Copies of this chain bind each other. A is one copy, B any other.
Amino acid sequence: MGKLTIGCFSSLVGSMTLDFAVKLAEAAVKKGHEVDLWLSGNGVMLGKKGQSKFRDYSYLAGTVEELLKTGKFRITNCEACAKARGIDKEDTMDGFGIHSMDWYLASAFDADRVLHIGGE
């Protein structure tokens, strides 16, 4: 079993890329791997408290909560990216880490695999 670090820089709802990242994390955890998910740029929107589940918009908060319960999944928001968007600690879902960008590099340091999703 290994460790996969995923960095996702694309935004919730507007891009299905975050859906991809969460589904990949889910599949990896199911197979017994550990996953770190780093959210930067607009990806930090995934951590916003109080998202509503509407059929016309993608909704990932439920899956993230389930993943956190496994103990094999860590999810962390980029602090500056979140604050710039008005998302501070009180505004962030429980279970999310909040760190500066060096956290991502440290996670990559001991990862077996890194999938960095930096697209637009």
Q: A residues touching B (Cβ–Cβ < 8 Å)?
A: 10-14, 41-42, 45, 48-52, 54, 56-57, 59, 80-81, 83-88, 91, 120
Contacts and interface: CB of A to CB of B under 8 A. Distances in A.
| Copies, count | 2
B48 A85 contact: yes
A95 to B, nearest CB: 15
Contact of A42 (B42, B86, B88, B91): B42
B41 A84 contact: no
Contacts of A87: 48
Contact of A14 (B42, B51, B59, B91): B42
B11 A86 contact: no
Given A13-B42, A41-B14, A48 B86 contact: yes
A73 B50 CA distance: 29
A119 to B, nearest CB: 11
B84 A13 contact: yes
